[in-house]
Structure 1
């Protein structure tokens, strides 16, 4: 049994990860630390596990093999460096860190310590993503010209997000660096590495961070990626559309269990419904397997680094009101 320590319940998904740890047959929560002691004690009492007053105290527990990181984003770097130095395997909420320099330092520390790192990038492993990759491998769309992925909710207008999610210092951003991560890494998966990022942020509810956002990824070959997100739309569907010189793919506009593809490759050019595949093992399951086998989740970490690059570029683009080349970022 792998004993796991929870490092903070700051993030809205911390409870979800605690549930995964409790339900997985090979893991159990063995302790909790939180920068908010009141919250940490409450969560520890609810789970009948020890609460540790300091991060160092939890990391000193030799029976705790891994940690789940849900601290404020601005604490990720320091917390994960300490966890790696203590020999703890790490499962973390995205983003791995708000800057490429910090993310690379975390990965370097993890590799030096010989521990496993996995980042929560859940949409990578959903069946529709696997089906999309299969369509692209078949070449039905031809050379890709455009991809658009939208994911948004109403957290800022319905007020169900915690107030600290609007604290710029802790979060390093709002809708884009939180919810926008999912359409961002999917667009990166579909189109590959862009040359530059142009981003616009909107502030519709008057918070310190953006609640309405769009990033445009530009590519050397002329392709364009569009990443849309926000906290201000109650009925916005999660959608993916991909266009190429031979066809188009749509997901989320009709049945949630099918992709729709129209391609000149098909004889009559009619719309074809592609069934969604079963999900791959989720990121938490992959992390547990990595601990057990010693095989790193390398593809996951690579995409997490790419996600941080794109988020850093997006934040800089919005702040400076210009396109930011990825080559500008300090590694």
Structure 2
């Protein structure tokens, strides 16, 4: 099925222990990939997935090498990004974006800081589809502002295309 020309993308809904095999097969077939969190159960498998995706020339996702959704029905958070300078989480049903970082303003390290959200933001799925249609990479979808101490405005969303794609 992965060899079919009429299939552009794959949603990986397999158990995490199978992600490496399924995702690398999709990458070798040149398909865009969306998977559930956890990407893989071990760092070794994550690195194997990333290497195969890069070697196969599959473009990076909206946020990372492959897009991953947060699928814990008991957690209020639907997107979770951990980095060297802090953690960013978006959650429902309250639709809050919260940030904690040790970089820059010390008050941002003291606890979770609620960030304002654009009213016309897209769902993770719509962002993934837009990434495929636009043939963009992660750094083309999100861009850091010029170097400055970390603030609540450190990252800027590049825009919304759901209206242009009639995907609302």
Q: Work out whether 1:114 is the aligned partner of 2:57.
A: yes
Residues 298 and 284 (structure 1), Cα distance of their counterparts in 2 relative to 1, 3 Å cut: farther
**RMSD between aligned alpha carbons?**
3.3
Aligned to 1:89: 32
CA distance in 2 between counterparts of 1:295 and 1:92 reads: 18
Deviation at 1:133, TM superposition (A): 3.7
Moved >3 Å (runs of 4+): 124-127, 132-140
Give the drift of 1:114. 1.8
Distance, in Å, in 2 between the alignment partners of 1:281 and 1:125 is: 13
State TM-score, norm by structure 1.
0.30
Q: Which has the higher contact order (CA 8 A, sep 6+)?
A: 1
Would you say 1:282 and 2:123 are equivalent positions? yes
- Structure ranking higher in helix proportion: 1
Question: Quick one: distance in 1 between partners of 2:41 and 2:140?
Answer: 19
For 1:297, the equivalent position in structure 2 comes to 138
CA shift, 1:297, in A, is: 2.7
Which string of whole-angstrom CA distances, capped at 9 and with x for unpartnered residues, describes residues 272-298 of structure 1?
xx8x53464332222112112221235
Runs of at least 5 residues in structure 1 that lack an aligned partner in the other structure: 1-57, 146-241, 244-248, 250-258, 260-273, 301-331
Task: Describe the SS at the equivalent of 1:59.
Answer: coil
TM-score, normalisation: structure 2:
0.55
Greater Rg over alpha carbons, structure: 1
